[in-house]
């Protein structure tokens, strides 16, 4: 009896201490601490990717340490080292370039922290420095861009097309694979002639600079501009118009990403084709991080399903893009 009374007093005391019995929000511990190194804010794609990852971390109840490297690999490496020191449960990052990660990833491995690659991949001789890759099949994006051009050449009845290419960040996965996929797919079609490839670093300002250079050098000889992202495309378009050409008519414009602003320009007819590259990778990242925390298997590579938008389609019913 005495014991029961004691327990009742104790429970009453706890209730009183906890504010007279009203329900206190239970502070739920985050299920997981995820360290994410984002490479920068260079494009609408990148900003959309960051926002999606932040939103999905909140939705999944995952505590997110997000660091923006402002386009510098050394900043990403420093961020990864901070995540290791902080002993996060999972590390994820979007590597700005493919080389130079082995040392820091060996440190993560020694710390027993799994690493997930998001968006882009790395080149490494060492085994299992990362668990998996979540990101687009950039080679296929290049192939899809080329396949549109082959159809366009048939439709225009052209016996040759002079192509200039504005590439993304040197030595990044999307730059290397979008270039390779495109060039491999047009190889063997003798209508296709590549005049020059220039690097625009995925930046709008550099896209404009590249286009000015190409117009000064080749002028009306240019039939096709293949640009590795919408940001550079949107930098190039005013340069084309200022030079007296109609983009989408005098020159075929092929771009990649598929953000709202570029889709609207496609609808206006100033871009002919946009290969989608979705930035919405957050849900897959959170699911993967939770699986790793719980010791469940994960897929070594996850590629989102992506579409091609072009002047061959009616885009009036296309839903808002969200980035
Ligand atoms: C692609 C991503 C690229 C985008 C660019 O997944 O890495 O980087 O295509 C962005 O817009 O800058």
The answer on 206 and 231 residing in a single domain is yes
Question: 21: CA distance to ligand 1 center in Å?
Answer: 53
The answer on 270 and 159 residing in a single domain is yes
Nearest-atom index, ligand 1, CA of 230: 11
The answer on 179 and 299 residing in a single domain is no
pLDDT band at 127 (very low <50, low <70, confident <90, very high): confident
Give me the pLDDT at residue 125, please.
86
Domain range enclosing 218: 138-277
Q: What percent of the chain has pLDDT over 90?
A: 89
Q: Is residue 13 part of a domain?
A: no
Question: 4: CA distance to ligand 1 center in Å?
Answer: 66
Burial of 48 (0-12, 13-18, 19+ CB in 10 A): buried
Which of 44, 53, 97, 168 to mutate to test ligand 1, by most ligand atoms within 8 A of the CB atom? 168
Q: What is the mean pLDDT of residues 38-44?
A: 96
Give me the pLDDT at residue 3, please.
53
**Is 239 in contact with 211 (CB distance < 8 Å)?**
yes
Strands of the sheet with 252-257, listed across from one edge: 192-199, 161-167, 224-227, 252-257, 273-276, 308-310
Question: 214: CA distance to ligand 1 center in Å?
Answer: 22
Q: Identify which of 284, 291, 282, 302 has the alpha carbon closest to the alpha carbon of residue 57.
A: 282
pLDDT band at 31 (very low <50, low <70, confident <90, very high): confident
pLDDT band at 13 (very low <50, low <70, confident <90, very high): very low
pLDDT band at 19 (very low <50, low <70, confident <90, very high): very low
The answer on 150 and 270 residing in a single domain is yes
**Is 207 in contact with 238 (CB distance < 8 Å)?**
no
Give me the pLDDT at residue 15, please.
46
The answer on 124 and 81 residing in a single domain is yes
The answer on 38 and 148 residing in a single domain is no
Q: Is residue 173 part of a domain?
A: yes
The answer on 164 and 264 residing in a single domain is yes
Which residue owns the Cα nearest ligand 1 atom 6? 119
Is a pLDDT exceeding 60 seen at residue 183? yes
The answer on 145 and 121 residing in a single domain is no
Q: Is residue 221 part of a domain?
A: yes
Is a pLDDT exceeding 90 seen at residue 10? no
Give me the pLDDT at residue 21, please.
43
Ligand 1 residue neighbourhood (C-beta within 6 Å): 42-43, 45-46, 119-120, 136, 174, 202, 229, 231, 256-257, 277
The total of structural domains in the chain comes to 2
Question: 19: CA distance to ligand 1 center in Å?
Answer: 52
Q: Is residue 169 part of a domain?
A: yes
Question: 289: CA distance to ligand 1 center in Å?
Answer: 22
CATH of the domain at 180: 3.40.50.2300
């Amino acid at each position: 009896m005495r014991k029961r009374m004691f327990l009742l007093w104790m429970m009453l005391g706890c209730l009183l201490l906890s504010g007279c019995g009203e329900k206190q929000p239970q502070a739920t511990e985050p299920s997981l601490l995820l360290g994410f190194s984002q490479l920068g804010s260079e494009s609408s794609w990148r900003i959309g990717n960051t926002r999606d990852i932040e939103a999905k971390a909140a939705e999944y109840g995952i505590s997110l340490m997000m660091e923006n490297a402002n386009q510098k690999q050394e900043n990403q490496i420093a961020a990864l080292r901070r995540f290791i020191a902080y002993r996060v449960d999972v590390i994820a990052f979007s590597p700005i370039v493919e080389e130079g990660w082995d040392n820091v990833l060996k440190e993560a491995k020694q710390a027993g922290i799994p690493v997930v690659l998001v968006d882009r991949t790395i080149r490494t001789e060492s085994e299992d420095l990362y668990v998996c890759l979540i990101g687009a099949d950039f080679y296929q994006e290049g192939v899809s861009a080329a396949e549109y051009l082959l159809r366009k050449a048939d439709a225009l009845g052209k016996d040759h097309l002079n192509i200039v290419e504005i590439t993304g960040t040197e030595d990044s996965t999307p730059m290397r694979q979008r270039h390779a996929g495109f060039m491999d797919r047009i190889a063997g079609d003798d209508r296709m002639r590549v005049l020059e490839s220039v690097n625009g670093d995925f930046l709008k300002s550099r896209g404009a600079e590249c286009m000015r250079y190409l117009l000064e050098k080749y002028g009306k000889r240019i039939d096709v501009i293949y640009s590795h992202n919408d940001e550079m495309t949107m930098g190039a378009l005013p340069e084309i118009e200022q030079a007296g050409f109609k983009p989408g008519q005098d020159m075929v414009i092929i771009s990649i990403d598929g953000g709202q602003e570029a889709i609207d320009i496609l609808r206006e007819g100033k871009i002919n084709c946009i290969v989608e590259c979705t930035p919405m990778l957050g849900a897959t990242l959170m699911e993967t991080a939770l699986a790793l925390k719980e010791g469940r298997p994960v897929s070594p590579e996850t590629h989102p399903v992506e579409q091609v938008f072009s002047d061959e389609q009616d885009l009036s019913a296309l839903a808002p893009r969200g980035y």
